[in-house]
Amino acid sequence: MSTPDLVIRKQLLIDQSSNVSFNLLNLNCWPLWNKFANRILSEHQGQLQQLQRFDLHRIMAQQLIEDLWQVSMIRSSDEPCFTELRLNWVGQRINGRTSALAIQRLVVEITVLETENGGVEISAWWEISKLGRLLRFGRRLATAIVTQLFDDLVKHGTDEYQQIYQNE
């Protein structure tokens, strides 16, 4: 891929990074750490799978907003201990109507390094429509989506939610 349009990093403790990896790859944990989404809709629960599609749902100003994503790649290793997840943004709908047309393509790659001096890094690539560039809101919208995902992941994704789902 080319140079990312946005890169955000945060150093975390090893335990926090481990929790982030688990919570990121377990779709059942997403509503617990992702404050942007009240509900998740997907054909499969539990562990994310390559090519899986899922929708993040939230209500704002009495309108249903759906962010549509597809998992394009999942990689992990034990030496060094890391997890990498690439998500393609499929689009956004408000009350069933397509919106956010300023973004033509958005790819988000999340890397979690579970070692000393490790942490979370999110890289994002996007293409903005001509109208989005002209009105100067496409880049802001793409940045806001990625930043919200990162903020939720490092603030709430570091908690240990795995106990909840392992005991059920």
Could you tell me the CA-to-CA distances from 125 to 40, 86, 93, 128, 153 in Å, in that order?
24, 11, 21, 10, 19
Predicted confidence (pLDDT) per residue in 85-118, tens digit: 999 999 999 998 988 788 999 999 999 999 999 9
Domain containing residue 23: CATH number: 3.30.530.20
Looking at the predicted structure, is the pLDDT value of residue 75 above 60?
A: yes
Single-letter code of the amino acid located at 131: L
**Number of independent structural domains in the chain:** 1
More confident residue, 37 or 78: 78
87 three-class SS: strand
Answer yes or no: is 120 within a domain: yes
The predicted pLDDT at position 167 comes to 44
Answer yes or no: is 1 within a domain: no
pTM > 0.75? yes
The predicted pLDDT at position 158 comes to 93
pLDDT band for position 162 (cuts 50, 70, 90):
low
